Every structure is written in structure tokens, then in C-alpha cells.
Amino acid sequence: MAHTPCKKHPDVPATASCAICKTGCCDECMGSLGVCTSCWYKIVAILFIVMIVGPSFSWYFW
């Protein structure tokens, strides 16, 4: 993995790969649980949308 560059920092070698998107990430880009920071932001955005839109749909169909 050391010869693969990080996807956000091309000059830094990747030390691990993301568990979700399988791309190489450096230590700065890797979050907890083996997930890169860009995937974490996507997960948080999806959860936020579900938390906001979900109750309105349940109220509509009530």
C-alpha cells in the first residue's frame, strides 16, 4: 500500500484503505473504524436526511 498515493494528498503515500470505498488513504484522511473522512461525511449526511425526512413521511401517512 505504501506505493499508492492518498486520494486527497497525492504527495503522501497511503497507509490504509477505506472499508467502504476501498481507496488508499493516509493517516490524516483515515477516520475511526477504518473509514475515510469523505465516507464519514456521506454517512452523516444520509443519517441527517433520514432523521429529517423520515418523521415528515410518517406524519404524512399517519
Residue 54 lies in a domain: yes
Residue 50 lies in a domain: yes
pLDDT for 1 equals: 55
Residue 6 lies in a domain: no
Number of separate domains in the chain = 1
Q: By residue range, what is the domain housing residue 28?
A: 16-60
Q: What is the pTM of this model?
A: 0.69
Residue 8 lies in a domain: no
**Burial of 49: CB neighbours in 10 Å, binned 0-12, 13-18, 19+:** exposed
Residue bearing cell 506505493: 3
Residue 22 lies in a domain: yes
Any idea what DSSP says for residue 12? S
User: What tens-digit pLDDT sequence spans the chain (62 residues)?
Assistant: 557 888 888 899 998 999 999 998 998 989 888 899 999 999 999 999 999 988 887 777 76
CB 20 within 8 A of CB 35: yes
pLDDT for 5 equals: 87
Task: Identify the three-state secondary structure at position 9.
Answer: coil
pLDDT for 51 equals: 92
